[in-house]
Amino acid sequence: MSLIKSISGIRGTIGGRTGDNLTPIDTVKFAAAYGTWLKENSENQKLKVVVGRDARLSGKMIQELTMQTLVGLGINVIDIGLSTTPTVEIAVPMEKADGGIILTASHNPKQWNALKLLNSKGEFLDGAAGAKILDYVESEDYQFAEVDDLGEISVREDYIEKHIEEVLKLKLVEPKKVHKSGFKVVVDAVNSSGGIAIPALLEKMGVEVVKLYCEPNGQFPHNPEPLKEHLGEICKLVAKEKADFGIVVDPDVDRLAFIDEKGEMFGEEYTLVACADYVLSKTPGNTVSNLSSSRALRDITEKHNGKYNASAVGEVNVVQLMKDSNAVIGGEGNGGIIYPESHYGRDSLVGTALFLTYLAEKQMKVSEIRNEYPAYYMSKNKIELTPDIDVDGILKSVEERHSSEEISTVDGVKIDFPENWVHLRKSNTEPIIRIYTEAKSQKGADELAQKMISEIKEIIAN
């Protein structure tokens, strides 16, 4: 069992001992720290926070603990209940709230939950804010409200519908064009809140929906991370139903994966590539993804005469670079689409609507669209080290060995070779170097990873 405290929030397994897991006491402490930070950083007399959750089994308990803690601090709460991460992100500015909390452990299994924290823009907190909240957690320096100053909870039950309405208003989303195409789509929402949101969006766009695991009961029928090895059932069902494609989302609906009409994976990395291809064809501009995402986005961006930039890993880093470079679309290679015309957060509803419109315009099969893009293959590995080894020194040695290549040290060391790349990142919690590679064949990506592992071992030996 585990409890992980970081600048992006607190995440842990339910049950067990306080301080080792996400217990009610840990939940209250972290919610109190966030509320205290809000009070320290706002001039508003009465603060307001939006709170929503995914469908996991512990959600109601964690939400009640969180909301009542905020009430105890004198903060008003907008309870939007069963929701998605992007829905909460949209609700914060719509409610003119001071912040938001999303109760979700994203793609982690059902025993996990987490508190993810937003600012008044509905965006994830930066590192400085996160660090300050962690300080409050450690010091337990909270000032609760007196009885006449307690906060109040008000309930909003229509925010998924509002979110869908906002998506359908986007200029590049064309529901009528999609409706005319008569698409049939299978949806696997891993029995979480995407089972409400995605089918409702599709039906509004005139799409025939075949539901697979769309009952939001929190009983995940398979590992909720939308990777090929977990998605055998929907791959078979798409082919059996003769559907145009399949849609897979994670429990909080910020990661989006497609299955083509043959029942084959479109590739999580290519979700962003396809949406960017469509957006750039209508609104030329720049793009951003993180250093561990596919080179295919760079290729597509340059095809449309835009400039591609790579950020450090982490959504908050992607968003900041998108703002700095005025990017028209960006995201992460795990199927996270960030479209600033909507909001600065990964949003599977936005990604789905853009992809459907693109598909309706192209009048091609999903597999044919995939074949239009450069073929890249990734390999993800790690090398475990002993605690006494100087990981930073190893990364510096790798950098020096390849100084003639294109190198980025924004986040670890990334080496861009002409035909492939390798990205080395150290873990902040254990003596591990994570090794990401990409090449034009799976064999090439795997071989590059093994070559880099051998190189690291050689550096250690010397």
Which residues are identified as catalytic? Answer: 106
Which residues, 6+ apart, have CB-to-CB distance to 368 below 8 Å? none
The three-state secondary structure class of 132 is: helix
Give the orientation angle of helix 348-362 with respect to helix 194-204, to 10 degrees.
30
Structure tokens at 54: 């995914």
185, 209, 212, 445 from 220: Cα distances, Å = 21, 20, 12, 32
How far apart, in whole angstroms, are the C-alpha atoms of residue 76 and residue 48?
5
Burial class (CB in 10 A: 0-12, 13-18, 19+), 396: middle
Picking from 137, 115, 124, 114, the residue whose alpha carbon sits closest to that of residue 37 is 137
> In this predicted structure, what is the pLDDT of residue 1?
53
> In this predicted structure, what is the pLDDT of residue 103?
98
117, 366, 404 from 124: Cα distances, Å = 6, 33, 37
How far apart, in whole angstroms, are the C-alpha atoms of residue 452 and residue 455?
5
How far apart, in whole angstroms, are the C-alpha atoms of residue 197 and residue 217?
14
437 contacts 445 by C-beta, under 8 angstroms: yes
- Domains of the chain listed by start with CATH number: 3-157 (3.40.120.10), 163-371 (3.40.120.10), 377-461 (3.30.310.50)
Dihedral sign for Cα atoms in the order 168, 197, 91, 316 = negative
254 contacts 268 by C-beta, under 8 angstroms: no
Note the residue count of the chain: 462
Structure tokens at 56: 């996991």
How far apart, in whole angstroms, are the C-alpha atoms of residue 217 and residue 225?
17
DSSP lists the bridge partners of residue 211 as: 187
Amino acid, res. 331: G
How far apart, in whole angstroms, are the C-alpha atoms of residue 195 and residue 74?
34
DSSP lists the bridge partners of residue 5 as: 10
The arrangement of strands across the sheet holding 377-384 comes to 377-384, 432-439, 421-426, 413-416, 406-408
Element (H, E) at 355: helix 348-362
Average pLDDT per block of 10 residues along the chain, 462 residues long = 78 93 96 97 92 98 98 98 98 98 94 96 94 93 96 97 98 98 98 98 98 97 92 97 98 97 95 98 98 96 97 94 98 95 98 98 97 94 89 94 95 95 86 93 96 94 84
Structure tokens at 140: 């337990």
The three-state secondary structure class of 128 is: helix
Please, what's the largest Cα pairwise distance for the chain? 68
Structure tokens at 296: 């295919």
Question: What are the backbone dihedrals phi and psi of residue 94, each rounded to the nearest 5 degrees, phi first?
Answer: -65, -35
Phi-psi region of 375 (alpha: psi -120 to 50; beta: other; left: phi over 0): beta
331 contacts 325 by C-beta, under 8 angstroms: no
Q: Where in 226-293 does DSSP place strands (E)? A: 245-249, 256-259, 286-290
Q: DSSP H helical segments within 363-390, as ranges?
A: 366-371
The three-state secondary structure class of 428 is: coil
DSSP lists the bridge partners of residue 100 as: 50, 118
The gap between the terminal CA atoms of the chain, to the nearest Å, is 38
